Structure formats: structure tokens, C-alpha cells
Amino acid sequence: MAYDEGLAHLMRDDLSEERGITEKKMFGGLCFLLNGNMVCGVHKDGGMFRVGKPREAEALAIEGAREMDFTGRRMGGFIDVDSDLMGDDARRGQVMALALANARALPPK
């Protein structure tokens, strides 16, 4: 599976204080889950975040975020982000906070 290991390292650092985080290969990349629910992931060209439909518009307003459509169909509640956003601690932190809020609101799997 092709994903950027440097970006995976950034995500691991961002999530290092979070209890219940696991990693799983999904979507052709590497995903990070909180209590079994997807938070975010990395692929070869950037990252993705599961922010949930209620937070999607807020996430899409962040520069470098776009709708996720890996399969050719839009995936509601998910956003895809470019490598520039991934490299910007402030913007990545904004999107990560939205994704963590979504995952915390879901029952553990």
C-alpha cells in the first residue's frame, strides 16, 4: 500500500496523547482509529479525515481541504487534504480536532 511514511509520522505525533488509537491499512493507505472508529489517514498524495457530516462544511472551509471521492463517488463526512495542509501544523490541527470530535461522539466498536 502506498502512503507517505513522513505524513504517517506526523499523524502518529498528533495522536500520541490520545488513548484508544490503533492503525489499520485501509483505502490504499494507513488509517488511524479511535476506539475502532476512523479519525484520519494518510495516502501517497496527502491525507483524509472523517469529520462527520455536521462538521464537513467547516472542514471544507480550511485551505487545502476538498471533498473525498476516492471511488469516483463523494463520501459524505470525509474530506481529503493535500500535502500542503498536512505540512501545516495549524491547519492540520484544525481538521484533526474536527475528526476527533466526530470519533469521540461515536460508540466504540
Q: Would you say residue 1 has pLDDT above 60? A: no
Report pLDDT digits (tens) over 12-67: 999 999 999 999 998 788 999 999 999 999 988 899 999 999 999 999 999 999 99
* Structural domains of the chain, with CATH: 5-104 (3.90.1150)
pTM here? 0.93
* 13-15-19-21 Cα dihedral, nearest 10 degrees: -100
- Grouping H, G, I as helix, E, B as strand and the rest as coil, residue 23 is strand
